[in-house]
Chain A
Amino acid sequence: MPAEAIVEVRGAGKSYDGTVEALRDVSLALPQGGLSTLLGPSGCGKTTLLKIIAGLIPPSAGEVWVKGKKVDGPGPERAFVFQDFALLPWATVLRNVAFGLELRGVTPEQRHDIARGYIEKVGLKGFETSYPHQLSGGMRQRVGLARALAVDADIILMDEPFSSVDEQTRRKFQEELLDLLKIERKTVIFVTHSIEEAAYLSDQIVLLSPRPGTVSRIIHPAIERGGKNPDEIRRDKNYLDVVDEIWQILKRYVV
């Protein structure tokens, strides 16, 4: 387990209009180079927590530190992958992937070069000139992932990235994500409501309880991934134990 924490959440809380409390006193340390999942039932504030870490929403209480600096807005060391993809419908795949660099003022030749590299890495070579509406949901999310990788952030925040993608595509995508992250060496914070997805992907799983969201348990799955193919992992005893352990906790929250 890498020990150094790259993201620290200290006593973060969020309430809207002073009445609806979405998060209460959340403290977390997210290790560098690891994949941490925020898992919980809908309404537990996991997306709110992710957006606070991203700097898109200011917390009502507490603070977030990223790489030793206090967060007061979005920053270049963090990139976001959106649940609804958030692709520009009027722009080609190439321009969408290069958009983060375009906003930073990188020259067109340079940013298109970088974008082409990541388009190939996420398996979309040949679709550079396609428009988002010509792609399937899974392919659109690959564009979203390539865009996040292209800005070379240390931390990638993913908000239920596979929730609008069908199950087969989702599994394939999960496997490829793990392979890709092995090469790219990013820290990933991943929001999901799927227990299997969390157990399969994560080095650390943060379980959140609903309304207001608080940290209910932190689990470190001890799944031996080395040398195993994805199907072997899905039959691994530790993997199945983790899935069961999470379910035992979460089912108390399901009404």
Chain B
Amino acid sequence: MVLFGKRVPIVFSLVIWFVVWELIGRAKLSTIVPPFSDVVAAGMTILPTEKFSAAAAISLRSFALGMALALGIGIPLGVAMARVAGVGKLLGMWVNIFVSAPISALVPILMAVIGVGEATVVVTVFLFAVFVIILDTQVGVRQADRSLVEMARCFGAAPYQIYAKILLLSALPEILAGVRLGVIRGVKGVVIGQLLIALLGVGELFELYSKNFLMEEFWALVIVVFMFAFLLSEAVAFVERRIEYYAGAR
């Protein structure tokens, strides 16, 4: 970012917004917006508490389980849809519907079917993340260079070698893009799932703080969740950038 002819770090734009936030808070325009410094102070007090770490642990576990399921099912399914014409035809339309559908609307039904508990949150995370992973994997494998597959066959590759050494590596840039989008959606899934259930993890804390008008704590929690989602997606983006050189060279 360049400001008045000088290079300033990107963080500076955040600083500006925090200052604006602080001023609005100090002006006492709304009880919903407390000064930023109070939010930070509240964050400092809730972060070390046992209640927060317990909530974070439950949320992280649901998130990790849901994401693991989404990766473990989404990537193989995407590969199958790209390689087996029947599977692609059978599931293509459904995946395209669900990738754009508001999954949040399904959570109450999930609660009714699976029950009010961690399993519902795991399934919510899974449903939020899996479709974009399937879709991107499918696109990546479908776009894999046919002549590389032909080359591998020519040099005597067994079918599993064609998958492991050609197709998955060829599709890696698209798969990672899908994983990054899946991670972002998964974070939404865990928060929305827990909010609707309102008895679990971070969702329970959100409910607690907003019902009792603990706005400092509420905003502190929002920032923590935002940071978590951002850092996670940046971590995947970092891996993506490292393999970019061959995505462009294909």
Contact = CB atoms under 8 A, between A and B. Distances in A.
A88 B248 CA distance: 13
Contact of B147 (A86, A90, A131): A86
Interface residues of B, number: 23
Interface stretch (A97-105, A164-172, A242-250): A97-105
B234 interface: no
Contacts of A104: 156
B155 A99 contact: yes
B169 A56 contact: no
Interface string A64-91: 0000000000111011101010101110
B246 A103 contact: no
B156 A80 contact: no
A147 B154 CA distance: 12
Interface centre among B150, B151, B157 (most CB of A within 10 A): B151
Interface in B101-158: 145, 147-148, 150-158
Contacts of B153: 56, 74
Contacts of A75: 156
A145 B219 CA distance: 63
A90 B155 contact: no
B154 A74 contact: yes
Nearest to B148: A86
Nearest to A157: B154
B4 interface: no
B31 interface: no
Given A74-B153, A79-B154, A131 B145 contact: no
Interface string B148-172: 1011111111100100011001001
A88 to B, nearest CB: 7
Q: Is chain B's binding surface mostly helix, strand, loop or mixed?
A: helix
A133 interface: yes
B154 A54 contact: yes
A131 B246 contact: yes
B154 A133 contact: no
A132 interface: yes
B156 A132 contact: no
B138 to A, nearest CB: 20
B148 A88 contact: yes
Contacts of A84: 147
Contact of A90 (B152, B154, B158, B243): B243
Contacts of B246: 89-90, 131, 133
Nearest to A150: B155
A88 B169 CA distance: 9
B155 A133 contact: no
Listed residue (A76, A84, A89, A132) with the most chain B CB atoms within 10 angstroms of its CB: A89
B34 to A, nearest CB: 51
A5 B250 CA distance: 39
B247 to A, nearest CB: 8
A172 to B, nearest CB: 25
Nearest to A153: B155
B155 A103 contact: yes
Contacts of A103: 152, 155-158, 161, 165
A15 to B, nearest CB: 20
A99 B243 CA distance: 20
A79 B172 CA distance: 28
B32 to A, nearest CB: 50
Interface of A: 54-56, 74-76, 78-80, 82, 84, 86, 88-90, 99-100, 102-104, 131-133, 147, 151
